């Protein structure tokens, strides 16, 4: 909406704020870690700099804090593939 009105939209969030908002997820993951083979935590990639990315190549990655956008399915698929490569058992 802000862009439509010609206003600046501050849509970044700090990694710290993200961790606080989704503490329930991180707590549940920690408790269940021994039962989880692969955990895909988008913040590991999106928040590397301390600020969580919301835009990729001019495309909105998600909306309403956690709903991914179809237009960035390629980004999300890449995150999943990377997580699978990292978590794959060594032969």
- Structural domain contains residue 2: no
Least confident of 18-22, 68-72, 86-90: 86-90
Q: Which residue matches tokens 């699978």?
A: 84
Residue partners of 86: CB distance under 8 A and separation at least 6: none
Are the CB atoms for 60 and 69 separated by under 8 Å? yes
Least confident of 22-26, 61-65, 69-73: 61-65
Residue 33 has pLDDT above 70, yes or no: yes
- Structural domain contains residue 3: no
Domain total in the chain: 1
- Structural domain contains residue 45: yes
63: β partners? 67
The model's confidence at residue 70, banded by pLDDT at 50, 70 and 90, is: confident
Does the CA dihedral 45-49-53-55 come out positive or negative?
Answer: negative
- Structural domain contains residue 91: no
Domain coverage including residue 18 = 13-86
């Amino acid at each position: 909406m802000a862009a439509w009105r010609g206003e600046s939209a501050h849509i970044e969030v700090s990694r710290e704020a993200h961790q606080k908002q989704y503490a329930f997820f991180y707590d549940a993951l920690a408790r269940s870690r021994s039962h989880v083979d692969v955990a895909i935590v988008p913040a590991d990639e999106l928040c590397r700099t301390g600020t969580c990315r919301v835009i990729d190549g001019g495309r909105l990655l998600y909306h309403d804090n956690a709903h991914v956008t179809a237009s960035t399915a390629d980004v999300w698929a890449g995150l999943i593939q990377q997580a699978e490569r990292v978590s794959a058992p060594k032969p």
